[in-house]
Structures are given as C-alpha cells and as structure tokens.
Structure 1
Amino acid sequence: MAYARKDVVAGGTFAELVSVPVRTAARKPASMTFEEAASLPLAGLTAYQTLTRLNLNANDTLLVHGASGGVGSYAVQIAKHIGARVIGTASERNHEYVRGLGADDVVEYGDGLVERVRAIAPDGVTVSADYVGDVEEQTMQLLTPAGRHVSVADPSVALNGGLYAWVRPSAEDLAKLAQLVDDGALRVDIAATYPLERLADAFAQSREGHTRGKIVVTP
C-alpha cells in the first residue's frame, strides 16, 4: 500500500491511496463506475477548460484537432452540449465514432485538411482547439479574422495570438463535468482496463497512439 505525503502529486502516480488538496477533489458521478470516473478528470478538465477559456458559444463553429482522442472526444461532446457546430479531424476509421459523439462533420487529418474543412465551412471556423500538435499553420488558414484558438501541444500558438493552455485542478470544474455525465451529456469510453501488475502492458498500448478512449489501471 502506497501513501503520497505531498499536497500535490506532481506528474501523477500509481498507488492505492494518495492525499490530495480538497480544492482538487469532487464527488464521483453517481452514474459512473470507478473505472469510468478515474478516466474523466485529466482529459475532461483539459477539454472543458480550454473551451470555456475561449468562451465557446452556440454561435461558434469549432474545429477539434484530434477529435477521436482522449481530450478531443470530450471536447466534441462538451461543445455540442454548448450548442456549437463541431468539425472534428480524425483518421477515416474513427469518423463514425466521432460522429457518434455528436460532431456535425468529420474530416481526415493531414495533407489537404484546409481544403476539406473549407469545403464544408467556406467562411472558416471561429474557434480551433488543438489536442495533437503540429497543426498551427493549418489552423491559421482556417480561422476567421476574429477567430480564437488554443493548443495543449504547441506553444507556438502564442505567436499568433492563440492560447497555450495547461489543465488546472479544480473541484468546481470537476463537479460541472460530473453533472454533465449524470445528465447524459457526456460519456466516457474505456479502451482497456489493466491490473496494476500489468502496468507495462498499459503503457505499451498507450504508446501505440491509436487508442480510442481511455486506458485504466486498477490497483
């Protein structure tokens, strides 16, 4: 049994028990299993906070780079709950999955992305959220003149007036995510669950880079 004695566990940990500041804790959503609840905070908070910091609203058209990933999949759902139009980028095999999350349109990432997005949004997008990196040039070609954009993977967005964001622990924001889950507006997809003794296998699957949903390790 492991105990964390610091107020904050920097970088994360694998342990049966850890101590955390009360400002970072919230009640588990009643409708979720513990495995599902464990999958929500980091990726869910990242999606929620990036979109709220950009003041996403129902009049916006949002481009989500990496819409099938752990953070992107939450961003699609949260944005649709807000009422925005959502265009997601994903590999072709994940298009139906992203549509199932609520995206209005899904396009293949990579070369030709700008043209594919312009074909369905001729006037461009008002908001862009980058959860994969290496898309800043494409983003700037697609944003409207007053558009807002954020990245959690590319600090260079700041050079173009964008927001380079880090997740902030927040019990208040966790409670809002929990309410979205209990209201049926947000779902958690678990790709695989591993016991603690198979931690290396969990990391191996994560490094493949094609996981749909979250990987959970149970002590």
Structure 2
Amino acid sequence: MFTRSGYGSRAAESWALMAGTPSLAAVLVSAGVGVVVGAVLAATITPRALVRPTRPRPLIAVGSATTGLTFAVLAARFGGVGLLAFCCLAAAGIVLSSIDVLERRLPGVVVLPSYLALVSLLTVGALTKNTFADLLRALSASALVIGAYLVVALVSRGGLGAGDVKLGGLLGLASGWQSWEAVLGGTLLGWTAAALTLLTIRCAKKRPWGSVPMGPFLLFGSLLGIMLY
C-alpha cells in the first residue's frame, strides 16, 4: 500500500517514462524549424490559396511566430513520428486558420494534401512501432468526426461549411492517433471556445447572431486535446 507521497512519485515517474523528458535543445530546434516552416508556408502556400490579394509581411510574421511556438510546445510533450505528425497537422492548420480568418473558407487544396501527409506519417509510425491499433483508431476517429460534422452541416443549412467538415476529419485523424479522449476533449474544447467567442462578440457589439471562422477554434481545441490526453 502506497503513501500519498509515494504514489505521487510513482505517478510522476510513470508520466516521465510515457511522455519522455525532452531536452531544451530539442525544443529549441523544433521552434527554429517551426519558424522557418511557418514563414515558408505563409510566403508561398497561403497567398496562392487566398482569393483576395493580401500583404505578405503580416502573414509571414504571424505564420512563422505561431508555427514556431506550436512546434516548441509539441516537442516538449512528444517525440518521434508522433511529433512529426502533430507538427504536420499544426503547420497545415495554421495556414488554413489564416485563410479562414481572412476569407471564411478552408480550401481543399491545402486540406487534402494534409490528409495524405498525415496518413503516411501515421502509417510509418504504425509499421515501425507495430501499433496498428492506434492507426485503426485514428482512421475510425476521422470517419466518425466527418460523419458527425456532415450531419451538423446539413442540419444547420450552411452553419458549418464543407471545409470545416474536411478539416474536422483531419483533426480527428491526428487526435485519434493519440486517444479517443483526445478526440472527444479536443472537439468539445474547440466548439466551446468558438461559442464563447461568438457570445462575447454579440454581447460587446450588441448585434444579431453571426458567425465566426471555425477553423482556428477547431485546430486549437484539437491540439490542446492532444496535449492534455
């Protein structure tokens, strides 16, 4: 029978063994890679996917800083193929979020290649670590989220767009690789954040109910769910 302090120590040791203890160098390197990747994507992919011309400098500054920070946070929690997969999701998601904020759309030209990249990375992870149950859970979660979002899109009659449905499947794929708790928790966190933001805007401006770009909230919720669960 363990004492409370002994149990806490063992729990901390178990967490360290599961999550790993990343070095500061690994986190800094990931941050640097994220800055470069974010800047390149913001300078190349984002402007081409936008319909309306936008000044590139703000896109590059925001994209590089956000991607660098996200990569660093992920590197503090994960390693190996899982880290690569989640960073891939984050990089694509930040590009999509920028487009969604500016033009209220999530272009398939960015979403669909992200599926291919993520499935490829997760398949490699399953082959190298013999974790095919994780891959099956990821694919099942993706299909489940797509189905649920499609129902919401049809019922809401435009309240949720086709791009949101496709992005939801991509987020479900990554979250499902982590756990079912990450899928559920990340989805709830994203929708709750969107609802609170919409409520705040309505109360502050005293306007009728409108809409908010769902992409950034769904991405934030999923990444947070992946980190927590």
Question: The TM-score by the shorter chain falls in which range?
Answer: under 0.3
Larger Rg belongs to: 2
Structure ranking higher in helix proportion: 2
Calculate the TM-score normalised by the size of structure 1: 0.26
Higher RCO (C-alpha under 8 Å, 6+ residues apart): 1
Structure ranking higher in strand proportion: 1
Calculate the TM-score normalised by the size of structure 2: 0.25
